[in-house]
Protein backbone atom coordinates (compact mmCIF):
# COMPACT_ATOMS: atom_id res chain seq x y z
CA UNK A 1 0.00 0.00 0.00
CA UNK A 2 1.11 3.57 -0.72
CA UNK A 3 1.23 5.97 2.24
CA UNK A 4 2.06 9.66 1.92
CA UNK A 5 3.68 11.59 4.74
CA UNK A 6 2.65 15.18 4.07
CA UNK A 7 5.45 17.75 4.38
CA UNK A 8 6.08 21.38 3.38
CA UNK A 9 8.19 22.79 0.59
CA UNK A 10 11.22 23.67 2.72
CA UNK A 11 11.83 20.00 3.51
CA UNK A 12 13.56 17.54 1.21
CA UNK A 13 11.98 14.20 1.99
CA UNK A 14 10.71 13.18 5.39
CA UNK A 15 11.30 15.29 8.47
CA UNK A 16 14.37 14.03 10.38
CA UNK A 17 12.37 12.57 13.26
CA UNK A 18 9.90 10.81 10.94
CA UNK A 19 12.76 8.96 9.26
CA UNK A 20 12.80 6.64 12.27
CA UNK A 21 9.70 4.93 10.86
CA UNK A 22 11.51 3.74 7.72
CA UNK A 23 12.57 0.55 9.47
CA UNK A 24 8.90 -0.45 9.71
CA UNK A 25 7.07 1.49 6.97
CA UNK A 26 8.14 3.19 3.74
CA UNK A 27 5.97 6.31 3.34
CA UNK A 28 6.49 8.76 0.49
CA UNK A 29 7.10 12.43 1.25
CA UNK A 30 4.59 14.74 -0.46
CA UNK A 31 4.38 18.53 -0.14
CA UNK A 32 0.87 19.60 0.83
CA UNK A 33 0.60 22.52 -1.61
CA UNK A 34 2.34 20.85 -4.54
CA UNK A 35 -0.23 20.93 -7.39
CA UNK A 36 1.44 17.95 -9.09
CA UNK A 37 0.67 15.46 -6.31
CA UNK A 38 -2.14 13.00 -7.08
CA UNK A 39 -3.48 12.50 -3.56
CA UNK A 40 -6.14 10.04 -4.72
CA UNK A 41 -3.39 7.59 -5.69
CA UNK A 42 -2.43 7.01 -2.04
CA UNK A 43 -4.08 4.50 0.27
CA UNK A 44 -3.57 6.92 3.15
CA UNK A 45 -2.38 10.51 3.47
CA UNK A 46 -0.79 11.19 6.87
CA UNK A 47 -0.22 14.82 7.85
CA UNK A 48 3.22 15.01 9.41
CA UNK A 49 5.30 18.13 8.82
CA UNK A 50 3.00 20.77 7.33
CA UNK A 51 4.84 23.26 9.49
CA UNK A 52 3.84 26.31 7.43
CA UNK A 53 0.07 25.71 7.39
CA UNK A 54 -0.66 28.62 9.74
CA UNK A 55 1.07 31.02 7.32
CA UNK A 56 -1.25 29.92 4.49
CA UNK A 57 -4.30 29.12 6.54
CA UNK A 58 -7.03 29.75 3.95
CA UNK A 59 -5.13 27.75 1.33
CA UNK A 60 -4.60 24.93 3.82
CA UNK A 61 -8.30 24.77 4.61
CA UNK A 62 -9.10 24.67 0.88
CA UNK A 63 -6.60 21.84 0.42
CA UNK A 64 -8.24 19.81 3.20
CA UNK A 65 -11.63 20.24 1.54
CA UNK A 66 -10.10 19.14 -1.75
CA UNK A 67 -8.92 15.89 -0.12
CA UNK A 68 -12.38 15.36 1.32
CA UNK A 69 -13.92 15.82 -2.13
CA UNK A 70 -11.50 13.21 -3.50
CA UNK A 71 -12.53 10.79 -0.72
CA UNK A 72 -8.88 10.47 0.29
CA UNK A 73 -8.16 8.69 3.59
CA UNK A 74 -6.60 11.53 5.58
CA UNK A 75 -4.96 10.91 8.95
CA UNK A 76 -5.64 12.65 11.16
CA UNK A 77 -8.95 13.25 9.43
CA UNK A 78 -9.62 16.55 7.67
CA UNK A 79 -12.53 17.14 10.05
CA UNK A 80 -10.33 16.67 13.11
CA UNK A 81 -7.52 18.79 11.70
CA UNK A 82 -9.92 21.64 10.92
CA UNK A 83 -11.20 21.47 14.50
CA UNK A 84 -7.67 21.44 15.95
CA UNK A 85 -6.33 24.23 13.74
CA UNK A 86 -7.95 26.94 15.88
CA UNK A 87 -7.02 26.94 19.57
CA UNK A 88 -10.50 27.99 20.62
CA UNK A 89 -11.06 24.22 20.79
CA UNK A 90 -9.64 24.57 24.31
CA UNK A 91 -12.94 26.15 25.36
CA UNK A 92 -14.80 23.09 24.11
CA UNK A 93 -12.49 20.71 25.96
CA UNK A 94 -12.80 22.76 29.12
CA UNK A 95 -16.59 22.55 28.84
CA UNK A 96 -16.18 18.76 28.66
CA UNK A 97 -14.34 18.75 31.98
CA UNK A 98 -10.73 18.88 30.83
CA UNK A 99 -8.53 21.09 33.08
CA UNK A 100 -6.72 23.67 30.94
CA UNK A 101 -4.31 26.47 31.75
CA UNK A 102 -6.42 29.47 32.83
CA UNK A 103 -7.22 31.26 29.58
CA UNK A 104 -8.97 34.48 28.63
CA UNK A 105 -10.18 34.32 25.04
CA UNK A 106 -10.04 37.76 23.43
CA UNK A 107 -12.41 38.09 20.48
CA UNK A 108 -11.08 39.95 17.42
CA UNK A 109 -13.23 43.02 18.10
CA UNK A 110 -11.73 43.26 21.62
CA UNK A 111 -8.11 43.50 20.50
CA UNK A 112 -8.07 47.29 20.67
CA UNK A 113 -8.79 47.03 24.40
CA UNK A 114 -6.06 44.47 25.04
CA UNK A 115 -4.03 46.61 27.53
CA UNK A 116 -7.10 47.04 29.73
CA UNK A 117 -7.98 43.35 29.43
CA UNK A 118 -4.48 42.35 30.53
CA UNK A 119 -4.58 44.63 33.55
CA UNK A 120 -7.92 43.16 34.66
CA UNK A 121 -6.53 39.60 34.75
CA UNK A 122 -4.41 40.36 37.81
CA UNK A 123 -1.69 38.05 36.45
CA UNK A 124 1.82 39.46 36.98
CA UNK A 125 3.31 37.51 34.07
CA UNK A 126 1.36 36.72 30.89
CA UNK A 127 1.60 34.83 27.64
CA UNK A 128 -0.37 35.97 24.59
CA UNK A 129 -0.79 33.76 21.53
CA UNK A 130 -3.04 33.75 18.46
CA UNK A 131 -5.66 31.03 18.14
CA UNK A 132 -4.18 30.09 14.73
CA UNK A 133 -0.46 29.59 15.17
CA UNK A 134 2.32 27.02 15.28
CA UNK A 135 5.88 26.86 16.59
CA UNK A 136 5.17 29.79 18.97
CA UNK A 137 4.58 32.14 16.01
CA UNK A 138 3.45 35.53 17.36
CA UNK A 139 3.55 34.18 20.91
CA UNK A 140 4.72 36.73 23.47
CA UNK A 141 5.59 36.71 27.15
CA UNK A 142 4.50 39.98 28.78
CA UNK A 143 5.80 41.29 32.08
CA UNK A 144 4.35 44.65 32.99
CA UNK A 145 2.66 46.89 30.44
CA UNK A 146 1.93 45.66 26.93
CA UNK A 147 4.59 47.11 24.59
CA UNK A 148 2.93 49.22 21.86
CA UNK A 149 4.82 47.43 19.07
CA UNK A 150 3.52 44.03 20.22
CA UNK A 151 0.00 45.41 20.54
CA UNK A 152 0.20 46.70 16.97
CA UNK A 153 1.45 43.33 15.71
CA UNK A 154 -1.50 41.63 17.36
CA UNK A 155 -3.90 44.22 15.94
CA UNK A 156 -2.56 43.43 12.47
CA UNK A 157 -3.36 39.72 12.69
CA UNK A 158 -6.17 38.41 10.44
CA UNK A 159 -9.60 39.68 11.45
CA UNK A 160 -10.95 36.27 12.45
CA UNK A 161 -8.13 35.33 14.85
CA UNK A 162 -8.90 35.13 18.56
CA UNK A 163 -6.15 35.86 21.09
CA UNK A 164 -5.44 33.58 24.04
CA UNK A 165 -4.21 35.31 27.19
CA UNK A 166 -2.77 33.01 29.84
CA UNK A 167 -0.71 33.38 33.01
CA UNK A 168 2.92 32.42 32.57
CA UNK A 169 3.24 28.98 34.16
CA UNK A 170 6.45 28.65 36.17
CA UNK A 171 6.30 24.90 35.64
CA UNK A 172 7.43 25.52 32.05
CA UNK A 173 10.87 26.40 33.39
CA UNK A 174 10.95 23.77 36.13
CA UNK A 175 10.40 20.90 35.64
CA UNK A 176 9.21 21.69 32.07
CA UNK A 177 6.33 20.98 29.69
CA UNK A 178 5.09 17.40 29.61
CA UNK A 179 4.12 15.77 26.32
CA UNK A 180 2.39 12.40 26.14
CA UNK A 181 2.07 10.71 22.73
CA UNK A 182 -0.81 8.40 21.81
CA UNK A 183 -1.41 6.25 18.74
CA UNK A 184 -4.98 5.12 18.08
CA UNK A 185 -5.81 6.09 21.65
CA UNK A 186 -3.04 3.97 23.17
CA UNK A 187 -0.23 5.59 25.16
CA UNK A 188 3.16 5.23 23.47
CA UNK A 189 5.77 7.45 25.12
CA UNK A 190 6.35 10.69 27.02
CA UNK A 191 8.71 13.65 26.84
CA UNK A 192 9.80 16.59 28.92
CA UNK A 193 10.49 19.84 27.08
CA UNK A 194 12.35 22.76 28.64
CA UNK A 195 13.09 26.25 27.27
CA UNK A 196 16.54 27.50 26.40
CA UNK A 197 18.42 29.91 28.62
CA UNK A 198 16.60 33.22 28.87
CA UNK A 199 13.60 32.06 26.81
CA UNK A 200 10.15 30.65 27.61
CA UNK A 201 9.55 28.70 24.39
CA UNK A 202 10.29 24.98 24.40
CA UNK A 203 10.59 24.43 20.63
CA UNK A 204 14.03 23.39 19.40
CA UNK A 205 14.16 26.30 16.93
CA UNK A 206 14.06 28.62 19.95
CA UNK A 207 16.73 26.75 21.89
CA UNK A 208 14.44 24.37 23.75
CA UNK A 209 15.52 20.88 24.79
CA UNK A 210 13.51 17.64 24.78
CA UNK A 211 14.20 14.30 26.42
CA UNK A 212 12.28 11.09 26.81
CA UNK A 213 10.92 10.36 30.28
CA UNK A 214 8.84 7.77 32.10
CA UNK A 215 5.52 8.93 33.57
CA UNK A 216 3.20 7.34 36.11
CA UNK A 217 -0.13 5.73 35.34
CA UNK A 218 -2.15 8.59 36.82
CA UNK A 219 -0.63 11.14 34.41
CA UNK A 220 -1.30 8.76 31.51
CA UNK A 221 -4.91 8.44 32.69
CA UNK A 222 -5.34 12.23 32.76
CA UNK A 223 -3.93 12.56 29.25
CA UNK A 224 -6.17 9.68 28.13
CA UNK A 225 -9.15 11.72 29.36
CA UNK A 226 -8.16 14.43 26.90
CA UNK A 227 -8.12 11.90 24.06
CA UNK A 228 -11.57 10.67 25.06
CA UNK A 229 -12.92 14.23 24.96
CA UNK A 230 -12.01 14.70 21.29
CA UNK A 231 -14.62 14.71 18.52
CA UNK A 232 -13.14 11.46 17.16
CA UNK A 233 -10.28 9.07 17.79
CA UNK A 234 -7.05 10.35 16.20
CA UNK A 235 -4.34 8.25 14.60
CA UNK A 236 -1.81 10.25 16.58
CA UNK A 237 -2.05 12.85 19.31
CA UNK A 238 0.45 14.68 21.47
CA UNK A 239 -1.01 15.96 24.72
CA UNK A 240 1.00 18.97 25.93
CA UNK A 241 0.62 20.45 29.38
CA UNK A 242 2.15 21.35 32.70
CA UNK A 243 1.84 19.33 35.88
CA UNK A 244 1.20 20.94 39.24
CA UNK A 245 0.45 18.97 42.39
CA UNK A 246 -0.21 15.90 40.28
CA UNK A 247 -2.75 17.56 37.96
CA UNK A 248 -2.19 17.90 34.24
CA UNK A 249 -3.25 21.30 32.91
CA UNK A 250 -3.68 21.13 29.15
CA UNK A 251 -1.80 23.68 27.07
CA UNK A 252 -2.60 22.15 23.67
CA UNK A 253 -3.42 18.86 22.04
CA UNK A 254 -1.41 18.55 18.84
CA UNK A 255 -3.26 16.73 16.04
CA UNK A 256 -1.91 18.37 12.87
CA UNK A 257 1.87 18.42 12.52
CA UNK A 258 3.55 17.72 15.85
CA UNK A 259 7.01 16.32 16.20
CA UNK A 260 6.33 12.91 17.74
CA UNK A 261 9.95 12.43 18.90
CA UNK A 262 10.07 8.92 17.52
CA UNK A 263 13.79 8.63 18.25
CA UNK A 264 13.48 9.20 21.99
CA UNK A 265 12.00 5.78 22.83
CA UNK A 266 12.93 2.38 21.38
CA UNK A 267 9.35 1.36 20.54
CA UNK A 268 7.95 4.74 19.41
CA UNK A 269 8.51 4.35 15.65
CA UNK A 270 7.23 0.77 15.72
CA UNK A 271 4.13 1.90 17.62
CA UNK A 272 3.41 4.59 15.04
CA UNK A 273 3.89 2.22 12.09
CA UNK A 274 1.62 -0.34 13.72
CA UNK A 275 -1.08 2.28 14.31
CA UNK A 276 -0.99 3.30 10.63
CA UNK A 277 -1.20 -0.34 9.57
CA UNK A 278 -4.24 -0.81 11.83
CA UNK A 279 -5.97 2.06 10.03
CA UNK A 280 -5.08 0.61 6.64
CA UNK A 281 -6.40 -2.78 7.75
CA UNK A 282 -9.66 -1.21 8.95
CA UNK A 283 -9.08 -2.14 12.60
CA UNK A 284 -9.26 1.50 13.67
CA UNK A 285 -11.62 3.88 11.91
CA UNK A 286 -11.27 7.18 13.72
CA UNK A 287 -15.01 7.10 14.31
CA UNK A 288 -16.72 9.64 16.56
CA UNK A 289 -16.38 8.85 20.24
CA UNK A 290 -19.45 8.01 22.24
CA UNK A 291 -21.48 10.78 23.78
CA UNK A 292 -20.56 9.38 27.20
CA UNK A 293 -16.87 9.67 26.43
CA UNK A 294 -17.34 13.13 25.00
Q: How far apart are CA 266 and CA 198, in angstroms?
A: 32
Give the residue from 162, 186, 202 where a domain finishes.
162
Nearest in space to 268 (alpha carbons), one of 208, 184, 181? 181
Computed from CA positions of residues 287, 253, 176, 224, in that sequence, does the dihedral angle turn out positive or negative? negative
**Domain match, 182 and 251 both:** yes
Q: How far apart are CA 218 and CA 100, in angstroms?
A: 17
pTM, to two decimals: 0.89
Asked whether residue 52 is assigned to any structural domain, the reply reads: yes
Q: How far apart are CA 90 and CA 99, in angstroms?
A: 9
Ordered per-residue pLDDT tens for the chain, 294 residues: 899 999 999 998 999 999 999 999 999 999 999 999 999 999 999 999 999 988 898 999 999 999 999 999 999 999 999 999 999 999 999 999 999 999 999 988 888 888 888 888 878 788 898 888 765 567 888 887 888 888 988 888 888 889 999 998 888 777 889 999 999 999 999 999 887 665 555 555 555 678 899 999 999 999 999 999 999 999 999 999 999 888 999 999 999 999 999 999 999 999 999 999 999 998 766 655 533 333
Name the 3-class secondary structure at 189: strand
**Domain match, 230 and 93 both:** yes
Computed from CA positions of residues 144, 147, 148, 151, in that sequence, does the dihedral angle turn out positive or negative? negative
**Domain match, 94 and 225 both:** yes
Range of the domain at 151: 104-162
Asked whether residue 285 is assigned to any structural domain, the reply reads: no
Q: How distant is the alpha carbon of residue 288 from its chain centre?
A: 19
Asked whether residue 288 is assigned to any structural domain, the reply reads: no
Split into its structural domains, the chain has a count of 3
Asked whether residue 289 is assigned to any structural domain, the reply reads: no
**Domain match, 95 and 223 both:** yes
Q: 148-155 vs 114-121: helix axis angle to the nearest 10? A: 110
In the prediction, which pLDDT does 293 show?
A: 36
Nearest in space to 144 (alpha carbons), one of 164, 165, 123, 163? 123
Spell out the alpha helix ranges (H) of 70-179: 78-84, 89-95, 114-121, 148-155
CATH assignment of the domain containing 11: 3.40.50
**Domain match, 95 and 229 both:** yes
Amino acid sequence: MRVAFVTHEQLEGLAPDDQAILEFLQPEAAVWNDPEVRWQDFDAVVLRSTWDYHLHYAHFQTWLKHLQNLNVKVLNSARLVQWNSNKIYLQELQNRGIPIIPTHFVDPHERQNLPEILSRTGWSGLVIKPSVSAAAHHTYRIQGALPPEIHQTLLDLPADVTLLVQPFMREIQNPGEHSLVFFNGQFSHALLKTPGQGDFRVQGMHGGQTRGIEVDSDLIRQAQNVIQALPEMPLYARVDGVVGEGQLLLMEIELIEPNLFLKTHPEAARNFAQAIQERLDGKQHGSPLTETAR
